A and B are shown apart, each in its own frame.
Chain A
């Protein structure tokens, strides 16, 4: 409500006119100035300015809700109490039912792009792709099968989306639906794929999405991958403003106002030797956990990590694969070993293993020689 018009706020006429005359039109204009600046600019006394600012503030500030009413509202209005189940039992339990509506869920893992990487990490990279496709299928399924019965917008930056693979997953996981006449077409028809080629195109498509979110029954937004968008656009030296700063807040607000789950992938890069994880008061000690070559970090840095609500990490340790809940407001940091079977991902343990310390954010990749896709 930052752009609320001051003329509509019912200020005393005399001072309302002065605001208008000085081209202070919206609440944002007025509140970006201090009270003394306003006095200078408007040429009125302190008491009048204080009163006006108080009134503008009151009208421009958002309304409150008690958490109880928020809870009741969500319980009532939202199907599946506001979560899209992943159908991985342990993970769903840890996340209170699945990927939450209205928040960002980040999937961190190797990208699986580039010629040299395909052989080595391709399988892992495709893991999250498969996960995203599966979530897309789930969101389109009719509600009697546990889906959201909606449309999906899939922003495919790296051109990895494969319709064939999507139908395959559908056929494998929900044969009873996908074998029905015309169902595959119907389901796949509900998934809209966008392929922006650059950051600016991405920005544009985000703005278009906002409109279609209002019009269509979109129930899931997938961005695969966020890191690929900026990897080519970083200039030298630390930029003053994060290149994705605007996108972070925009996507968050999209998720929130439409109350849909947003899933985005992030790549990993190897951790550089100068990587910082200490505050100045902690001294110069380096944490020696893990050897450096197997140590990876998420490609988008700390600023980005603050913005996501849930972070899931895929890692492999001594030949085993794990899905980790690395950041979540509701779950303790858990790690789930899993394997891939012909019918998809299978968690070996639904309770998960609780992690502590740097292990939570570390991304291990050792011995990923086994092929996980059937």
Chain B
């Protein structure tokens, strides 16, 4: 690897090259003090350079050698982890089924669909469902809701929270008679208290907030889901420089994936649809273009099929491509009423 491509500042690179260190391999046997003398820099700075450089070359070597590297994981471990992976229910059992139990934590899931299909509804539902306590098969976590469009409705969140509380009360009445008779029902107020709502008014704020989330979640460890409604809005207007847009979106996607991995949170990104020309005809497709479509781990499209709303898994490394009906009711997302377990495998 060349010094030019290493993550060092320009003046440091300049000094290295003028001292003859054009390749990083040449630095492998240099001591910090020697380097400091040669480049006429402080010893601390020389140490810093050597550290950076060895970090870079180490990550490069992983591709060639199979040695055990810090930060890597064996496939077996990953499987173990996947199996214990917790999921957030969508409140529709059919939808959960095709997702393998719900929206998975540690992954970025993108959900798109036409206006009015229920994206925001699903977002609010997840923000409530993530709080279902462990005793009820939930995560007992908290939610971050990032609203870029201003479509979040407090009244609706209250409604969904009430319904969720009622369902839990019903559940404990049916299945644990006499068990926890002293148990008190979770109030809708408590649900709403645990949703952190951010209103983002420009793309700069959106980037800033996503950078800041790292710190925020460190301070609020029990956050288990981050919902961005929607990722698209600010990036679809006021943008002349498409290359810049792609770059910013790419950076954001990476940060979201990192967040999901690092804290084990589910990142749910809502996206709008647009029309796209391919194979000689126009189709609906999720917005932000092809390069963005690589950004999320899972991609779900919500669409109309006849008179029913369907969720379709468009892309996922671990799930089969399938679709399932769901419905949006006064209580939130639920199973489709007319459905009798007819999940189609494609």
Contact = CB atoms under 8 A, between A and B. Distances in A.
A39 B7 contact: yes
A311 B11 CA distance: 57
B46 interface: no
A282 interface: yes
A277 B284 contact: yes
Classify the interface of chain B: helix, strand, loop or mixed.
Answer: mixed
Given A54-B215, A357-B308, A36 B7 contact: yes
B222 interface: no
Contacts, number: 221
Interface in A50-81: 53-54, 56-68, 70-71, 74
A103 interface: yes
B145 A67 contact: yes
Interface stretch (A194-202, A211-219, A300-308, A365-373): A300-308
A58 B236 contact: no
B199 interface: yes
Given A1-B205, A278-B284, A256 B301 contact: no
A248 B150 CA distance: 12
Interface string A278-293: 1111101000000000
B8 to A, nearest CB: 7
A189 B52 CA distance: 70
Given A62-B198, A280-B285, A102 B150 contact: yes
Given A45-B48, A46-B7, A356-B308, A66 B149 contact: no
Contacts of B230: 306
Contacts of A337: none
A361 B307 CA distance: 11
A32 B235 CA distance: 12
B293 interface: no
Contacts of B8: 39, 45-46
Nearest to A356: B307
Interface stretch (B17-25, B62-70, B96-104, B274-282): B274-282
B211 A53 contact: yes
B340 interface: no
Interface in B103-153: 114-116, 120-121, 144-145, 149-153
B244 interface: yes
A66 B195 contact: yes
Interface in A267-283: 274, 276-282
Interface residues of A, number: 79
A60 B205 CA distance: 6
Contact of B233 (A57, A103, A249): A249
Contacts of B304: 277, 357-358
A62 B232 CA distance: 18
A247 B12 CA distance: 46
Contact of B236 (A66, A242, A282, A308): A242
Nearest to B196: A64
Contact of B283 (A67, A280, A327, A361): A280
A252 B12 CA distance: 47
A193 B236 CA distance: 31
Given A60-B204, A62-B200, A279 B195 contact: no
Contacts of A357: 304, 306-308
A27 B204 contact: yes
Nearest to A65: B197
B42 interface: no
Contacts of A59: 208
A43 B272 contact: no
B237 A241 contact: yes
A333 to B, nearest CB: 8
A294 interface: no
A333 B7 CA distance: 54
B201 A62 contact: yes
Contacts of A305: 114-116
Interface string B186-197: 000100111111
Contacts of A1: 204-205
A2 B215 CA distance: 19
Nearest to B188: A68
A1 B204 CA distance: 8
B274 A303 contact: yes
Contact of A332 (B279, B283, B329): B329
Contacts of A327: 115-116
A329 B120 contact: yes
B261 interface: no
Contacts of B208: 27, 31, 56-61
23 contacts: A2-B201, A2-B204, A31-B204, A46-B8, A47-B48, A54-B214, A66-B193, A67-B154, A68-B193, A71-B154, A241-B239, A248-B237, A249-B237, A255-B150, A278-B284, A302-B273, A303-B236, A307-B233, A309-B150, A329-B120, A329-B151, A332-B328, A356-B308
Nearest first, the 9 A-B pairs at minimum CB distance are: A357-B307, A245-B237, A57-B211, A2-B204, A327-B116, A60-B208, A68-B192, A61-B209, A305-B115
Interface of A: 1-2, 27-28, 31-32, 34, 36, 39-40, 42-47, 53-54, 56-68, 70-71, 74, 96, 100, 102-103, 238, 240-242, 245-246, 248-249, 252-253, 255-256, 274, 276-282, 284, 302-303, 305-309, 311, 326-327, 329-330, 332-333, 356-361
Given A31-B207, A39-B10, A66-B197, 4 more contacts: A67-B157, A246-B238, A249-B237, A305-B116
